[in-house]
Structure 1
């Protein structure tokens, strides 16, 4: 009986060790629109394209930010390339499930990110987002035109306090603007 118990304990210990080894040590969750930390974003209001670290921090805080492969800030345009980096803690399956789920998540994220970059980075002149074969290029004027048509109280983006209040008041509508049904910047 003691021998059976000892064998059982050894088998159980081996199973636990194998299960622990098969799980990734650090699994990263990719941020979705509904999970964006608005308080963190609002603290970065008034960031300028010349502040590379802050712009990068904003982009990483937006949907899909954990999959940013590169940022180009030349000519005061924010160009973001998304992809899967080795060692990121994100599996190919997780990456594909997030970006290419058949519900146009890529486009929704791009529109959402363009809206928030227009609000938070007042000197940016345009936005470009790219992932595999999908690209969105939009100018600041296009984004602002749509936002001003939608919101009569659209703030001066150089007034950080007004932008923060605007985001608080309109975050649900801003999310809706990026939705598949709306996508105003085409």
Structure 2
């Protein structure tokens, strides 16, 4: 009985992780921003607000004074370690694919903070994110990797 309950909860966790980058959560027009620059506040603001959890985004800071350029995204209301990791990976994947000159992103959640670099995320995927040209391709990539909890944890270690 314990094994059955454990299997049920593990399956539920996998389903939650896989639904994190669901097409309903990402605006279908988001690839119109492909090729944007981190200095374009309007484009960056539109991108991050249309990503999963955009409604919980409290603010963002663009760090463009010196290279490497980056950003800080501040969220409220997103909890649970595995869920925030999944959110960070999904959103960073889209941001790095769409914004040409962003090299790092710090995600500040209520109880966790994570920094991802474009280089590390691309190495993790084994793919250049700027090569992607559609939301569906990018969503499929993220879903393939988010299902493996040990692989997800490897990125953050």
TM-score of the superposed pair, with normalisation by structure 2:
0.72
Match of 1:185 in 2: 155
**Unmatched 5+ residue regions in structure 1?**
1-30, 84-94
Matches within 5 A, 1:99-178: 99-100=78-79, 102=80, 104-147=82-125, 149=126, 151=127, 154=128, 157=130, 162-165=131-134, 167-178=135-146
Q: What is the root-mean-square deviation in Å for CA atoms of aligned residues? A: 2.3
**Unmatched 5+ residue regions in structure 2?**
1-18
Match of 2:59 in 1: 70
User: Larger relative contact order (C-alpha < 8 A, sep ≥ 6)?
Assistant: 2
Instruction: Tell me how far 1:145 sits from its aligned partner.
Output: 1.6
Instruction: Tell me how far 1:118 sits from its aligned partner.
Output: 0.9
Residue 178 and residue 79 in structure 1: after superposition, are their counterparts in 2 closer, same or farther (change >3 A)?
A: farther
CA distance in 1, matches of 2:48, 2:113: 16
Match of 2:21 in 1: 33
The yes-or-no answer on 1:80 pairing with 2:68 is no
Q: Is the 8 A contact 2:30 2:50 kept in 1?
A: yes
Q: Deviations over 1:143-168 (max 9, x none)?
A: 12223x2x4xx46x2xxxx5315x43
Match of 1:7 in 2: none
Q: Which runs of 4+ in 1 moved over 3 A?
A: 167-170
Larger Rg, first or second structure (1 or 2):
1
Q: Deviations over 1:116-175 (max 9, x none)?
A: 11111110010110111201111111112223x2x4xx46x2xxxx5315x433522322
